[in-house]
Amino acid sequence: MTVRLSTGLRTLLAGSTGFAAALEKGVIEIYTGAQPASADAAVTGTLLGTVTLNSGAFTPGSPTNGLTFAAAAAGVVSKTGVWSFNGIAAGTAGWFRFKGNAVDTGALSTTLPRMDGSVATSGGDLNLSNITIAVAAPNTIDDFTWTQPAQ
């Protein structure tokens, strides 16, 4: 289990854009299998669902139903609103990709802001109450927090 940041996200973090701003109004995609070696790499596995605000329809480039964050405090930012998805395929969740609000087909990119990590019921980078995803079944992300390291 390792969180991996894309070159595009690391570039934004090193510049004047923070984590929340880089991924604000984006989405989280949940996939089967093992996460790629890099968040720059193309996606692998089967897309099981796309996490949006209240499971709403999402169009890249539009803020409607994109994921939102509370104001940062003490180096920490957390989700706001209900982050959820309905399964679009059946399978076992293995990893996720958090994508910013831009057109991102999942192909190789060193410029798009992305974060990949593992999915589990506990001890994952993103924990779900059930990693067995069924078609049309609702799923909720109860907690999402990013802590910027002090060193």
Model confidence at 20: pLDDT above 80:
yes
Say yes or no to pLDDT of 65 above 90.
yes
Looking at residue 60, its pLDDT comes to 94
Average pLDDT of the chain to the nearest whole number: 95
Instruction: Report whether pLDDT(1) > 70.
Output: no
Average pLDDT over residues 99-113: 96
Spatial separation of the C-alpha atoms in residues 38 and 107, rounded to whole Å: 12
- Which tokens is 48 given? 């099981």
What's CA 71's distance to the chain center, in Å?
A: 18
pLDDT tens digit sequence for 69-95: 999 999 999 999 999 999 999 999 999
How much is the pLDDT for 9?
Answer: 94
97 versus 16: the higher-pLDDT residue is 97
DSSP string, 112-147: S-EEEEEEESSSSSEE-S--EE-TT-EEEE---EEE
For residue 41, which of 1, 93, 2, 6 has the smallest C-alpha distance? Answer: 6
What is the per-residue burial (b if ≥16 Cβ within 10 Å, else e) of 104-133? Answer: bebeebeebbbbbbbbbeeebbbbbeebeb
pLDDT at position 129, please? 94
Residue 151 has pLDDT above 90, yes or no: no
pTM: 0.95
- Mean pLDDT confidence for 44-64: 97
The angle subtended at Cα 58 by Cα 57 and Cα 64, nearest 5°, is 95
Task: Report whether 107 contacts 44 (CB < 8 A).
Answer: no
